[in-house]
Chains A and B, each alone.
Chain A
Amino acid sequence: MALPDAIDARRAPRSAGERTLFPREASTRRLLTSPAVVLVILLSIFPLIISAYLAFSRFQFVSDGFDITFTGLDNFRKLLTGSQSRRFVGRIGTIPWWGWLALVGFVGSMAWTGVRAVRSAPAKRVRIAVSRSVVTIAGTALLALMIQTLQGDGLPGSVVVTLVFVLAGVALQYTLGLGLAMAASQPLRGKRFFRAVFLIPMTITPVGAAYMFRMISDTGKGPLEPLWSFFFGAGQYTWVDNPWGARIAIIVADTWQWTPFMFIILVAAVESVPDALLEAAKVDGAKAWHQFRYVTLPMIAPVSLTLLLIRSIEAFKIIDLPQVLTGGGPGTATESLALGAVLEWRALNLGGSAAISYAMLVLTTFFALILVNYGHRRAVAAIS
């Protein structure tokens, strides 16, 4: 087949001394892309490097401006074992018997899936073994931290509080979003109207949503005061005064705000499932649940994975809701990593703030990599 002229001309070797509009194409490309590259370096990479430097330094105002002193790992030491460990890591309690069972189960399942992965791809056994070991160690540490701080005499720090917001919030948002998407994809009257209504929360600024939920959760003065007084007695209970009440308030507000994001994308994914597949399943006698479980769910798996990834990364950065709704309280019960970093920044402890931000970056990257590596394989397997 003949190539189009332009492509043909591009591939053809130029004769020596041939004059073109752009004599050195490679350097021209570099020249044209350089503004974008410089912009990326200035806006992304440079701040990343500077904040990394700050994470290992102490910032201080002095008489002729400011002074940055290199302090090594001191900011991270404070977070993990020093003065900030109670806020960052939490108070470590004992692991109950069911906690040990969960940990053994997690390690066992990781080992089992690891062995299967090595058997299926013996050539990559070293790479698989290393990556699985890293994930298993980090995952076990995080799971152990959650078990130790979320029950008994433990108290969660901002790492676990953030994980709770991410895991509980994203799971709820996905479940509700999928439910609404399934409902909105049915041939119902007025479904366009409902689709528009479901989107409204996403258009409201998070701070506005936080203030709204702050009013709603105020049992003494808010718009739902009659409801609260009916259930709890007038003004005698406030759920943001209780650690778990406050966390639930934030998860509810976050879910209210972000479920529409899940919904709008999932409804498109659900509607893109070929009718022929669903019809075939129906003809084979599959009930509604089986159609959903074995046809719809696998078909929307790649979209679901992307959604969960985007939303999880976003959820790790949660700050507006805890800031406005509870101020990180009661105590530090709702202090997320991002809020902790901002509080340190406000105190002009820029090194401490940068260290928290980098810890958050590592955690988010680890979480995202697990989702991509493990989820992607399953998603591909599901539709193949």
Chain B
Amino acid sequence: MNHRLSRFRFLALIAIFALIAAACSGDDDTTTGDDTGDTTADTDAPATTQAAGDMQFDGVEVEVLTFTGPQIAEPLQRRAPDFEALTGARVNVTTVPFSELFQNILTDAATGTNSFDAWVFAPQWLVDFAIPGYVEDLTDRVNNDPDIAWDDVAPFFRDFSATYEGTIRAIPLDGDFHMVYYRTDVLEAAGLEPPQTWDDYLAVAAAVNGQDMNEDGEADYGSCISKARGQQSYWWITSIAAPFIQSQGTASGAFFDLETFDPLVNNEGFIRALEIYGETGDYGPPDESNLGVGDTRGLFTAGRCALTLDWGDIGTLALDPETSVVQDKVGAVITPGSTQVIDDSGALVDCDDTTCPFAINGVNHAPFASFGGWSGGINAAADPQVKDAAFAFLSYMTQPEQANSDVTIGITGFNPYRVSQFENMDLWLEAGMSEAAADSYLGAIADSLNNPNMVLDLRVPQNQRYQQTVLDTILAQFVAGELTAAEAAAEIFSQWQEITEELGRDAQLAAYKSTLGS
């Protein structure tokens, strides 16, 4: 009897536990349904980090893929524990080399492996992720998230980098423009002005090359531009070539002809740009062809270079007293321009009111919004609750409270992209910039951002193949002396044409014109 009773009690206990567990899970389901499940189906009430403050993502894990930093990965990894404390969602950041990031994302999604729930990538790749439907449409989520302060994101990053065919597909975390940095003390001592044209750049580099710029007794370099293959070097050539090629405003494009979609590389302007690109090596480190952008940044902040071409990173990296010897010795200018541009036949002609309508003091500038700024996208195949958690994390990262601090820290790799970041000088003064340095740094970015002849990065399908494979390889061959400038231009032309023929000329042209708004 006792035995039966105890068995009965045992079964009763089990039943009670089962009921409690069911009730708890029912509560969880209700919460998910109210706050997240419904969000996915009907994004009237999307998850935000404000709402997430109640640990609504407790137990959720978000796998994020980005490139091997330390830049970009660092702020994601640093802020992940804070986000977990706020929302309960655990964010794991995986990194791969930059050259493998595109392929990793695409194959992960295409094979249905879906190891990653979110990616922080180059927004120019959006087209390849959006067409097969791999990247989630975030429009409703963004529109319903007041904390994200979307209107504060500068229009270019909001409307171009983050958007694909009218829908928001990525959350900007970074703003990218090429600029030329120079050593104010070195140029001042030499009585030189910051370069306005690429010819000026070469002249300044030649004039100061070989000087000891960091008082270590060794000769330093006039120019440092990273030229290693398989890294992020292939963007520089567009910054050098663009002012020779694009002169009629942003919508005219710097990569392809708007009627034939023939590459704009087999012309005197691009060949001249290649020659300049090669000649900068005469005033650079001996192993420049093997240096990545991290290496040249290190050389510049170590005081070994008078000039360099880079994104916004050097402005903040130069502030770090532990790694930089050039605090308050760095100036920045819009990328140099040209006094000549190509005509319809591809020959270089002098700038005048017709050929260079946007010229400043006779110089046609074409600042290159290269890369578009690291942005976060969400895997459309991820679990609905994980998508919400991933969005909440990306929103958290881009909210002014976090972003306005991160863009002032060099190691983050994040550069200003919000209006408040350009307008609030205190941010930069608190980060250690002098007022003059902040003016110069923000001024160079603003000059680029506001330039009517700004160059938009290539966003046609398989742009990565045009640039990261063909352009990168041929530039490496040119730098190594395997090809002359004319041969390199002809090779790029023929191989880009080949890709276009494969993918369909009309479709590529339509995609290109669509990104330019032509």
Interface on A for B, CB 8 Å cutoff?
Answer: 58, 60-66, 78, 82-83, 86-87, 91, 155, 218-220, 234-238, 240-241, 243, 326-333, 343-349
Contact = CB atoms under 8 A, between A and B. Distances in A.
Nearest to A349: B465
B100 interface: yes
A49 to B, nearest CB: 18
Contact of A58 (B99, B133, B228, B502): B502
A329 B290 contact: yes
A195 B61 CA distance: 49
Interface of B: 99-100, 102-103, 106-107, 110, 128, 131-133, 218, 228-231, 285-287, 289-290, 462, 464-465, 468-469, 473, 476-483, 491, 494-495, 498, 502-503
A348 B287 contact: no
B348 to A, nearest CB: 27
Nearest to B292: A327
B228 A346 contact: no
B464 A347 contact: yes
A346 B99 contact: yes
A345 B289 contact: no
B479 A65 contact: no
Nearest to B128: A61
Given A83-B494, A237-B286, A346-B102, 17 more contacts: A61-B128, A83-B495, A220-B286, A235-B285, A240-B287, A328-B476, A329-B476, A330-B289, A330-B290, A331-B483, A332-B473, A345-B103, A347-B465, A347-B468, A348-B103, A348-B107, A348-B462
A236 B478 CA distance: 21
Contacts of B464: 347-348
A348 B218 contact: no
B102 A329 contact: no
Contact of B480 (A65, A219, A329): A329
Contacts of B289: 241, 329-330
Contact residues of B: prevailing secondary structure: helix
B479 to A, nearest CB: 7
B491 A86 contact: yes
B131 A61 contact: yes
Contacts of A83: 491, 494-495, 498
Contacts of B128: 61
Contacts of B502: 58, 60
A272 to B, nearest CB: 46
Contacts of B483: 331
A241 B228 CA distance: 10
5 contacts: A218-B287, A234-B218, A235-B285, A330-B289, A343-B473
Contacts of A346: 99-100, 102-103, 469
Nearest to A323: B230
A345 B503 CA distance: 17
B465 A62 contact: no
B228 A329 contact: yes
Nearest to A351: B502
A333 B479 CA distance: 12
B95 to A, nearest CB: 16
B480 A61 contact: no
Given A58-B502, A345-B103, A330 B476 contact: yes
Nearest to B461: A61
Given A218-B287, A236-B286, A348-B106, A331 B132 contact: no
Nearest to A333: B480
A214 to B, nearest CB: 9
Contacts of B102: 346
A83 B503 CA distance: 16
Given A83-B498, A331-B476, A349-B469, A61 B286 contact: no
A327 B290 contact: yes
A362 B481 CA distance: 31
A332 B476 contact: yes
Contacts of A332: 473, 476-477, 480, 482
